[in-house]
Amino acid sequence: MTLHSFIVNSFAEHFGQGNPAGVVLHRDELPETAIQLIAFDINKSETAFVRPNAGGTGYDIRWFSPIKEVPLCGHATLAASKVLYEMKNFRFITFYYRGGSIRVTHRPDHSFVMDFPLDLPLPIEAREEFCAFFPETRIEACVLGQKTGKVILCIGDEVDIENVQPDFAAMRRYKGIGDRGIGITKRDTEYDFVSRYFNPWYGVDEDPVTGSVHTVLAHYWGRRLGTDKLRAHQASHRPGDIELQIEGEIVHMAGKAKIVLGGTIEL
């Protein structure tokens, strides 16, 4: 069996920027062990496995990190959208996953708008372990995404977010609230907010640009700043930009992508 595969930089237009995701297209059911091994070999923070759905109304999608399946992934969905657009030249497309569906719209500026469920942040106490993960970083507030289980730490304005050095070894030893991923965020002068995101529990120390965590960040900052439109920047070593618009229980998440590599996998 021959599978078409791609590497795509999401939330960026250039080489060396954004979050690189794998995309694998297939029509037949693939063994679970084969899917996970392919994701391990592609070795990106997530790889999207995409195939036409049985009803002919869109595509089924699943996301895998190098070590396990993840319930939702924004940047790999954007990567899959870019690949399918170059093949199908669509205006609208729908992806179906275990938690529901994601509608994607292609815009004239060649960005893609993805509709994700908004995640409501629940205020919680910043645990002692969280402070230990980010030494010498002042934490002002802590919230937990009720759907994603991701923890967001709002840090002080005086903190240089790009130079924060997390203790990944301490993270890996920890089990509890926060082991589905932890983000840090703060206000910014150029953007509405900036962030970084870490998930060594899923084999990804730092994820360059993360769609799923912005389902929490959009609600947090939208409520805090009193707006339903936000410009976000993820300040990783491969930075990227995300446009966010809140509409009811949905967050419209927009960004661009660049295909950097295409090939085949032989099973």
pLDDT tens string 54-113:
888 899 999 999 999 999 999 999 999 999 999 998 999 999 999 899 999 999 999 999
Average pLDDT estimate for 11-22: 94
- Contact, 118 vs 219, CB < 8 A? yes
- R_g over Cα of the chain: 18
pLDDT confidence of residue 100: 93
Could you tell me what percent of the chain has a pLDDT over 90?
Answer: 95
Average pLDDT estimate for 235-259: 97
- Contact, 68 vs 215, CB < 8 A? no
Residue 263: pLDDT over 90: yes
- Contact, 260 vs 12, CB < 8 A? no
Average pLDDT estimate for 223-252: 97
Residue 171: pLDDT over 90: yes
Q: CATH for 2-117+253-266?
A: 3.10.310.10
Spacing of C-alpha 29 from chain mean position: 25
Token digits for 165?
A: 């050095």
Average pLDDT estimate for 114-140: 95
CB neighbours of 224 closer than 8 A, spacing ≥ 6?
A: none
Using pLDDT thresholds of 50, 70 and 90, give the confidence band for residue 248.
Answer: very high
pLDDT confidence of residue 254: 97
> Where are the domain boundaries for CATH 3.10.310.10 in the chain?
2-117+253-266, 121-246
Q: What is the pTM of this model?
A: 0.91
Could you tell me what percent of the chain has a pLDDT over 70?
Answer: 100
Could you say which of 3.40.50.2300, 3.10.310.10, 3.30.70.260, 3.40.50.970 is the CATH number of the domain covering 121-246? 3.10.310.10
Phi/psi of residue 208, nearest 5 degrees: -60, -50
Average pLDDT estimate for 204-219: 95
pLDDT tens for 50-62 read: 999 988 889 999 9
pLDDT confidence of residue 127: 93
Phi/psi of residue 166, nearest 5 degrees: -70, 155
CB neighbours of 97 closer than 8 A, spacing ≥ 6?
A: 60, 61, 62, 63, 71, 72
Residue 188: pLDDT over 90: yes
pLDDT confidence of residue 211: 94
What amino acid positions are annotated as catalytic residues?
46
pLDDT confidence of residue 54: 87
Average pLDDT estimate for 236-260: 97
